[in-house]
Amino acid sequence: MVVRTARIGAVGLVAAAALTAASFISPAAADNGVGHPRTQEAMDAAVQAGVPGVAGQAKEGYSVWAGTSGVGDLRTGAPRSAVDRYRIGSMTKTFVATVLLQLEAEGSLDLDDKVDTWLPGVVRGNGNDGRLISVRQLLNHTSGIFGYTADPEFLEKGFTEKFLEHRYDTYTPRQLVDIALRHEPLFAPGAGWSYSNTNYTLAGMIIEKVSGRPYEDEIKRRIVSPLGLYATSVPRTNSSLPEPSSRAYSKLSLAPRPNGPTHDVTELNPSAAGSAGAMISDSGDLNRFYSALLGGKLLPAEQLKEMKTTVPVAGAGLITGYGLGLMNFEPSCGASVWGHGGNIQGSASQAVTTPDGKHALAFNFNGDWAGDSQAVIEAEYCPK
């Protein structure tokens, strides 16, 4: 059943009381039926396609619209809340890239430094050589390094029903890199493009080597605290999801199995994602982050230009280019928006904003096997 919410419900208001005034959404601004009907319809369509529930917010200037559909708990039938916290998966990459670009602006490293300069001997073997790969190539996925999440053993433990036995396993970044290095490179550095979570595992390791602090601490110190992102956290091995939140669900199958059993995968050890995808946030915080980033509040102009310098991405729907931890989306009406997607067990999310940072959208599906998230972006930015 599709559940429309004209205003944030009681659960959301109780949760919002724990946040700062910046996180509150006025009843008038949260009216789902006025300004964003196509976005609401796209959320409803995702639920009709099988997603348990959708929650999101759109921000235009000082106006905030909140949209929800479906349920946050299949057992109780409780609806989703627009202020739900959720695992943001690969949106973590934008935070990591921002920290590295800040370090570059401060003169602490150069993006054209080789990986081996900072992590000597770490990327070596089976044709992999960190002496030939630059930090920039990690950030724009042109390194050629195999993605550890595509390793058959890792896939089986993480994305089939074996996940239920391994959901609390702890991985170190070096262990994740070593899984990738079992495989030969996909291509020579700079000779192609392939999305690889290993790239950002290495990027997190470089942050620690350059700054002397773990990437989690640098993200908090440089981004989360200055922007007042009170719903945003960078868990290390903590398996719980902070309140307010909904449950997260997966079919735990490598092949499409829409009619298979649905598993509650809310609790998991995020070290398996690490600096490639471990973070938790909510839609309001994501809108504030991407708006600040594209609005030039986190990076000098030179570094923001570098971040937005893309390599082409083919066959990815609205996504036409990948920069440094940043995707360029081009909806059909000619709009251009910047942001990132993020998938992790039980959670599929998107956050985008216009180039000036003034019109932002962030939302989450609490199921990872159905629904068209790009259709929600299309609906928001091409409303007619």
Q: What is the DSSP letter of 361?
A: E
Which residues, other chains included, contact 269 with Cβ-Cβ below 8 Å and sequence gap of 6+? 167, 168, 169, 170, 171, 237, 239
Q: Which of 38, 7, 26, 34 lies closest to 64 in space, CA to CA?
A: 26
Q: The tokens of 309 are what?
A: 């310098």
Q: The tokens of 256 are what?
A: 């499409």
Q: What is the DSSP letter of 156?
A: H
What residues form DSSP beta bridges with 79? 71
Q: Which of 345, 384, 383, 382 lies closest to 365 in space, CA to CA?
A: 345
CB burial string 160-183: b at 16+ within 10 A, e below: eeebeeebeeebebeebbebbbeb
Residues 58 and 67: beta-carbon distance below 8 Å: yes
The residues assigned a catalytic role are: 90
3-state secondary structure of 315: strand
